[in-house]
Amino acid sequence: MTGTLNAALRRVPPWIVHAGAAGWALWWLWLAAAGALGPDPVARLEQDYGTAALWLLLATLAVTPLRRWTGVTLLRFRRAFGLWTFGFGVAHLVVWLFLDLSAPIAAIAELARPHITAGVLSLLLMVPLALTSTDAALRRLGAQSWRRLHRLVYPAAILAATHQLWIARGWETGALLWVGATGLLLGLRVGMRPGGGH
């Protein structure tokens, strides 16, 4: 069963994830421009891009535990999941900066708000991960340093979950589920042999 699934997954090229994510992002943008995202399209777009970033972050973190505990391997797609976590995070930031705020300069005052600080730090931690996501960067850094650097995904995930919990302004079920899922995936990594990647 697992073998059949893995064989089927091997036939799916990773560019499908890139095309799907890009199409998804553009589709929402089009819906917002067409006025089809409800009474507050900017807030909705910002929320949808942030939620997509969070889903993809969870998918990135789930690859190793999934392989370890079920044998199903999505390793070929992990780079695309990670890159699109960053891509949607940047899109989320762009909507906030240029459409939500009265002017991008207003972001400076917003930085002192705890949920904004957590979001910004989370995204900043993802920058070196995105920049070193190529095979060439992996070869240049060496596998060990590359893996050590990519452990930044854990604090980035904790900060992203904190960002969401703070925004929820209370113990909302949705936010708690996100935080629980992030905690579970990070917890599953504890005790795993180092070197399995994130």
The CA distance from 133 to 165, in Å, is: 28
Residue listed under structure tokens 């036939």: 11
Interface with ligand HEM, residue 198, by CB under 6 A: no
User: Could you give the angle at which helices 75-95 and 114-131 cross, rounded to 10 degrees?
Assistant: 140
* Closest to 123 in 3D by CA, of 37, 54, 30, 29: 54
Between 167 and 181, whose beta carbon lies closer to ligand HEM?
Answer: 167
Between 73 and 198, whose beta carbon lies closer to ligand HEM?
Answer: 198
Contact code string over 123-152 relative to ligand HEM, x by CB under 6 A: x-----------------------------
Interface with ligand HEM, residue 25, by CB under 6 A: no
Contact code string over 30-69 relative to ligand HEM, x by CB under 6 A: ----------------xx--xx-xx--x------------
Only one of the segments 29-37, 67-75, 87-95, 136-144 lies at the binding site for ligand HEM (rule: CB under 6 A); that segment is 87-95
Residue 67 phi, psi (nearest 5): -65, -40
Within a 10 A sphere around the Cβ of 133, how many other Cβ atoms?
A: 17
Contact code string over 159-188 relative to ligand HEM, x by CB under 6 A: -x--xx--x---------------------
Rounded to a whole number, what is the distance in angstroms from the first to the last CA of the chain? Answer: 25
For residue 18, the surrounding DSSP H or E stretch is: helix 15-33
* Closest to 194 in 3D by CA, of 156, 154, 147, 142: 147
- What does each C-alpha distance from 90 to 27, 63, 84, 94, 123 come to in angstroms? 16, 23, 9, 6, 8
Interface with ligand HEM, residue 158, by CB under 6 A: no
In the bound complex, what is the minimum distance in angstroms from residue 94's beta carbon to ligand HEM? 10
Only one of the segments 23-31, 69-77, 129-137, 156-164 lies at the binding site for ligand HEM (rule: CB under 6 A); that segment is 156-164
Can you tell me which of 42, 66, 116, 127 binds ligand HEM, judged by CB under 6 A? 116
E strands, 44-127, are none
Binding site for ligand HEM (CB under 6 A): 46-47, 50-51, 53-54, 57, 89, 92-93, 96, 116, 119-120, 122-123, 160, 163-164, 167
